[in-house]
Amino acid sequence: MISVVIPIYKSRITLVKLVEEIKNELNAIGEHYEIILVDDGCPENSWFEIVGLAQHDKAIKSILLSRNFGQHPAIFAGLEKAAGEWVVVMDADFQDNPKYISALYEKALNGFEIVFAKRMARKDARLKQLTSKLFYWLLSFFTQNKFDSSIGNFGIYHKKVIQSVLLMQEPFKIFTLMVRWVGYRTTSIEVDHGERRSGKSAYTFKKLVALGGNVLLFYSVRPIQFTVWLGFMISFSSFVMIIYHFYKYITHQIEVLGYTSIVLSILFFGGLIIAVLGLIGLYVGKILQTTLNRPVYLISEVLNIEKPNS
């Protein structure tokens, strides 16, 4: 069986068409399937649309979250209910085209547990592409891994992969990154990325920056390693300066007692100390968030799913 997991947020108008195209594609493959639609507290009341679809077709399983939790928590809500041997994860706005599902599946059957859809030319707004590139560069730098911004969530994953991802306990979920951590035989196929068929991206610039900051803090301790390194460098240079000034002192070369240099160094180190403390504070905040141990999402209603709490 193939499960297709789709987080739904602000793409109500194209929803019926999307499900229809996915069904055609899956029928052509000829395996059993389920389509799991996760309504991420969509303000357009997509749930109404989803209920309509699910009432006519038992293969359409639906989950309504209690509020908007974000794309990745919504994906996880779907993954936890997915029963298929293979799981496809995709966006709801046609940017990930359903027509590639059979190609993904075919590639997977050639002996891969993960097949990513590699977006050859991204059809996102300029600013988004730029920030995405910058973000993946920073992430590669800070985690010392190679990340490719052309790979998103779209792909097909074996049950083993999904179960491994579900074992990961971090409170901050980013499916794309977690699925790259688990290993398994991985490949990708090239796909065309689509334009959004209706509406605008749910990710504003502010949301993207917040997401990026969270990812860097949750997935890397390198910023802290850097500050340690920076601290040592500054200590070392001041040690060199102490020796130099001591030499000047014993050879009676000090004439004017420095006032500017004292004020400047106080400002410099004051700023640095506050910055480093702030950075540590951010990590402490993340630890607090982790110890709260809150659920990643809350389910309000389900349709065509037998055991809502399993």
Q: Binding residues for ligand UDP, per CB under 6 A?
A: 7-9, 11, 40, 68, 70-71, 74, 91-93, 95, 124, 196, 201-203
State in angstroms the smallest separation of the CB of 208 from Mg ion: 12
68/289 with CB nearer Mg ion: 68
Q: Which residues of 104-139 are buried (b: 16+ CB within 10 A; e: fewer)?
A: bbebbeeebbbbbbbbeeeebeeeeeebbeebbeeb
CB closer to ligand UDP, 8 vs 139: 8
Choose the contact partner of 202 out of ligand UDP, Mg ion, none; CB within 5 to 8 A by kind: ligand UDP
Q: Given the complex with ligand UDP, which of 214 and 227 has the nearer CB atom? A: 214
Which listed option, Mg ion, ligand UDP, none, makes contact with residue 176 (CB within 5 to 8 Å by class)?
none
Q: Given the complex with Mg ion, which of 200 and 248 has the nearer CB atom? A: 200
CB of 291 to Mg ion, least distance (A): 34
Q: How far is the CB of 181 from ligand UDP (least distance, A)?
A: 21
Backbone angles phi, psi at 13, to 5 degrees: -60, -35
User: Shortest gap between Cβ of 122 and Mg ion (angstroms)?
Assistant: 10
